[in-house]
Structure 1
C-alpha cells in the first residue's frame, strides 16, 4: 500500500518547466464526504486522488474544472468516520502535471446521523439500506457481517441463521465517539427453510429433529408424510411404518401461525431386527424352531405386518406362526440323522428383509432304510450272503444276519459297514431261511428274509455209485461163475446120461 501511494506521489509531483509555481487547496468535512476548496490556483483542470488510509484502493476524480482562483469540489459516497489521504494535481495542456500544496495530506469524514440512512425493501430475504454514505464498513455486533453494495446507493445484508428472532445491530468501529447504530429486528419471515437442518427419523415412533434458529422461542414444525407412490394418503409421524420409503414436509409456524414450509425430507426406518433362536426341537424328520425378535429401533407395536418364513437349503418355505415377541415354525420333510442349515426369513408386507437368521440343526436317529439281499450257493452246502442299505440314518452301520431252518437257528452273525457273509458245512438238500437287518446303534430296519436250498451231497452219491458199480461187477462175476459151473455141471451130467443110455441100449436084446 505504501509503495503504491509513493508511486502516485512521484507521478503527481513531476512538475514540468514553465508550470505554475503554486496551486493550493484545503479540505473540509461535509455530509457524506468532504469538500476540496481551491485557493490561489490557476483556472484549468485538476486531478483529485483519494485513498483510504491503510488500503491500496485509489478513488480518482479527473478533469475537475476550476474557473477561478477560489473554487470548490465535493467528494461524496465515502465511508463515515474514516481517514483518507488526498492529493490534488494541476493538469497542463501539454499533458504534464503539477502537485498542489494542501492544508494537509489526510482528512477524516464526518460521522453519520440517523437520518442519513433509510431502510428499503429491495431484495427478498435481505436487510437493505439506502444512503449516500459507503456503509460497507459497518459490522453487525453478533455475526460480524457487513452490508454489501447493490448499486443505486443501496447496501444489503443477508441475516445470519442465528440472527433470526433477534436484533441485527450495525455499528462502525471507526466512529468510536458516535452514538449511531442501525438496528433491525429479524423476524421469522427471514428464515430460509433450506437452511434448517433436518435430521430424519431413525427409529419408531418416528421423530424428525429440526434445528431452528436458537433465538426463536415461538417457532414449531408440524410434519405431514406420505408413502412414496401414494401422495394422496397423508400420515402423521406416529402413523409411519418400518421398511417403507416416506417423504415428509413440515409446516413452520410462528405462534401457531403458518409462515413457511420446509423442504421435503426423504427417509425410511429399517428396524434392526435381531432374531435369536431360543429352542430347537428336532425329530428324525422335522424340527420345530422357536425364536425371539428384538429391535433397538422399533417397538413390538410397530411390527404388526411382520411375518416369517422358515426353510432349509433349497427346500420349500414354511410360513411361521407369529408370537408376541417372535415366532415359531415346524420344518418337515427332513431326512433322519442329517445336518441342516435352517433359515428364518422375516418379511414385511410380503417383502423379504435382510435380517436373516441361520440355525444349524441335526435331525434325530431314524429307522434304517430297506435292505437289499443276494443269496448264492458257492458249493452244494455253502451259502454266500451279500446285502446293502443306502440309509442307516444313525451313527453306526451294522448288518445283522440270522440263518435258520424250521425253528432251529443255526447261525447269528454281525458285520460292520459291509454285508458279506459265507456259511459252510450246511446240510445238503436243506432249505434255509436267511434274515438280514440293518442296525444303526439305536434302531433296527425292517428285516429282509429270503430262502435258499442247498444241493445234494455229490461226494456221497459218487461213492455210492462207485460202490454200486463194484457191487454190480462182483454180482456179474458171481453170476457168470455160477453159469459157468452150472454149464459145466450140465455137460458132465449129459456125458453121464449118454453112458447110462449106452449101457441101457447095450443091454437090450
Structure 2
C-alpha cells in the first residue's frame, strides 16, 4: 500500500511540472489568432498580438509550407493578414508563431490548426495577355493540379498560367477544363477562340527553295484559311531598299522577311529574316562551230535547273571566252555575244590546223559564277605559205636537182607534200622532203620549175625558178663518128678503086700469058 501511494504522488508531481512547463509564465506575452476561408486562400485575424515578429505558416500535410512573415509593432492597428494563391477545396494545416524581443519563439493559440479553402468558380479565372504562341489565364488560386488542356500547362508569375498552342489550335476553339477533387459539382470548362494574332512567327517553319523566281515556303496553321505572307527583301549592304521576292537576282545576298496578313490585312506580325542567295546551276553544251581562214565561231546552249524559267531575262548574265594554243602562248580573250539561251564566241587570228584549249564560263555582274565549259578544238586546214629557199641546178646535161625549205608556219593541214611542176606539163610529188632529182629532160631546152606545198586540202602559191638543159653528149659523138667514117670513105674510096682496077688488069694479063703459053706448047 505504501508503494502504491508513492507512485501516485510521483505521477501528480510530474503532471504539475509538465503543465508548468507547457504554460507560459506570467511574464511571457500571450498571442492568439483565428482563421477563416476567403477567396483564393485564408484570412488570419490576430486576436492578441503583442509587439514582435510573427510567422504565419500554411501547408498541406506532407507538402511544402507557405509562410508569411509579419512584423507587428506596439502601434499596429491591422490585426488581419491574408495568404492567397492556395489550392481550392483543399485542407491545410496552419500555425502562427511569434518571436519576441528576447528571441523566444512562442506558438500562438489558434482555431484547431486546420482549415479548408473555398470552391473555385468561373469568375475566379480570367483571360490574360500572353507571350506569342501561348494562351494564358489568370487566377488567384493555385490550380496547377486542377486544370486539364490539350497542351502542357506552363506556370508564370503572379498567378498567370498558360498553354503552348499547337498549329491546329490557331483559328479554332481552345478549351480548358478545371476540376476540384475535393469539391462536389465544382468542375467547369472555359472555351475561347484563338485568332491568327496568336501565331508565334519565330516558330514558323520557313523553307527557302534554291530556284528563280525566288520562293519561300512557309507552313501556316491549317485552320487559318485566309492567311498569307508577303515577303520583301533587302540586298546586303544596301539600306532602305525593298525588293519583292519575285524580283530577286541570282548570286546576290538578300535578307527577306514576311508580313503575315489575314484577308490581305496585316496582323502586325513578321517572320524572322531568311537569308537568300540563289545560285544558278548552269550547264553549257557546244551546239555548232564555224571556221574559216580568218575566224572561228562557236555557238553553245545554256540550261539551268534552278534558273531556267528566268534565264532569258537575266540582264547581268554574260560570258567570258578565252583560247590558248596547246603548249603555246598566254590566253587570248575572244569576243562573246549572249543569246537568250546561250551565246556565241568569236576568235580571230587562229593558227590553222592547230590545237587550242577553249574555256567558256558564265559571269554575273562581272563575277565568275560557274566552272563553265572547257574543251580542246583543232582548227581547220589553211592555205600553206610559199616554200622557202628554192634552188634548182643542173647536175647532168638533162638532169636537174630541186631543193627547198618548208613554208613559214608549216603546212597547216594533215599532210606534208611537195609538188614540182615543169613548165606546167610534168608533175613530180615528194611527201617527206623537198629534194628532187628529175631526169630525162629534153636537151638544150629551157624549163620553168614551180614548187608548191600541199597539205591534203590546200596548195600554197608556187615558188618559181628557171633552168636550161645542155646538149646530148652521146648524140654528138655518134655524129662525129659518122662524119669521120664519111670522110674516110671519101678519101680512101678513089684510091681503093684504082688499086682494085689495077689488080683486075694485072690478073687479065697473066691469064692471057698463060693462055698463049698453053697454045704454043700444043703446036710443038
TM-score, with structure 1 as normaliser: 0.62
Contact 1:247 1:267 in 2 (8 A): yes
1:445 aligns with 2:450: no
- 1:429-469, Cα deviation, whole Å (9 max, x unpaired): 998765443333443332323457999xxxxxxxxxxxxxx
1:293 is aligned to 302
1:502 is aligned to none
Contact 2:452 2:463 in 1 (8 A): yes
Q: State the shift of 1:148 in Å.
A: 0.7
After TM superposition, the structure 1 stretch with the greater mean CA deviation from structure 2, 241-250 or 330-339, is 241-250
Number of aligned positions between the proteins: 429
Q: Distance in 2 between matches of 1:423 and 1:217?
A: 100
After TM superposition, the structure 1 stretch with the greater mean CA deviation from structure 2, 97-106 or 167-176, is 97-106
Task: Please point out which of 159, 170, 182 is paired with 1:164.
Answer: 170
Contact 1:277 1:359 in 2 (8 A): no
Q: Matched residue of 1:60: which SS?
A: strand
1:61 aligns with 2:94: no
2:123 is aligned to 115
Q: Matched residue of 1:294: which SS?
A: strand
1:395 aligns with 2:414: yes
1:319 is aligned to 336
Q: State the shift of 1:336 in Å.
A: 1.9
2:5 is aligned to none
Instruction: Give unmatched runs, 5+ long, in structure 1.
Output: 1-15, 456-509
Q: State the shift of 1:375 in Å.
A: 3.8
After TM superposition, the structure 1 stretch with the greater mean CA deviation from structure 2, 350-359 or 96-105, is 96-105
Task: Please point out which of 380, 386, 390 is paired with 1:364.
Answer: 380
Correspondences of 1:152-301 after superposition (within 5 Å): 153=158, 155=160, 157=162, 160=165, 162=167, 163-171=169-177, 175=181, 178-200=186-208, 202-223=210-231, 250-260=258-268, 262-263=270-271, 267-283=276-292, 286-300=295-309
Correspondences of 1:319-398 after superposition (within 5 Å): 319-320=336-337, 322=339, 325-327=341-343, 331-346=347-362, 353-354=369-370, 356-373=372-389, 375=391, 385-389=403-407, 390-398=409-417
Contact 1:221 1:252 in 2 (8 A): yes
Q: 1:94 to 1:375 in 2, by over 3 A?
A: same
Q: Distance in 1 between matches of 2:468 and 2:69?
A: 141
Correspondences of 1:118-157 after superposition (within 5 Å): 118-119=126-127, 131-135=139-143, 141-149=149-157, 153=158, 155=160, 157=162
Contact 1:309 1:345 in 2 (8 A): yes
After TM superposition, the structure 1 stretch with the greater mean CA deviation from structure 2, 285-294 or 221-230, is 221-230
- 1:14-43, Cα deviation, whole Å (9 max, x unpaired): xx9975259999976543224679999999
Q: Matched residue of 1:208: which SS?
A: strand
Q: 1:92 to 1:241 in 2, by over 3 A?
A: closer
Q: State the shift of 1:81 in Å.
A: 5.3
Q: 1:235 to 1:181 in 2, by over 3 A?
A: same
Contact 1:26 1:104 in 2 (8 A): no
- 1:247-301, Cα deviation, whole Å (9 max, x unpaired): 6554433234332253565535444332222334555654443433333334556
TM-score, with structure 2 as normaliser: 0.60
1:20 aligns with 2:22: yes
After TM superposition, the structure 1 stretch with the greater mean CA deviation from structure 2, 87-96 or 215-224, is 87-96
Contact 2:359 2:374 in 1 (8 A): yes
Q: State the shift of 1:113 in Å.
A: 1.9
Q: Distance in 2 between matches of 1:143 and 1:446?
A: 96
Contact 1:168 1:186 in 2 (8 A): yes
Q: Distance in 2 between matches of 1:407 and 1:397?
A: 21
Q: 1:246 to 1:407 in 2, by over 3 A?
A: closer
1:75 is aligned to 83
After TM superposition, the structure 1 stretch with the greater mean CA deviation from structure 2, 421-430 or 129-138, is 421-430
Contact 2:54 2:98 in 1 (8 A): yes
Q: 1:60 to 1:446 in 2, by over 3 A?
A: same
Q: State the shift of 1:379 in Å.
A: 9.1
Contact 2:228 2:261 in 1 (8 A): yes
Q: Distance in 1 between matches of 2:388 and 2:115?
A: 122
Q: State the shift of 1:363 in Å.
A: 1.9
1:33 is aligned to 41
Q: Distance in 2 between matches of 1:302 and 1:100?
A: 89
Q: Matched residue of 2:22: which SS?
A: coil
Contact 1:196 1:212 in 2 (8 A): yes
Q: Distance in 2 between matches of 1:169 and 1:45?
A: 46
Q: State the shift of 1:141 in Å.
A: 1.5
Q: Matched residue of 1:189: which SS?
A: helix
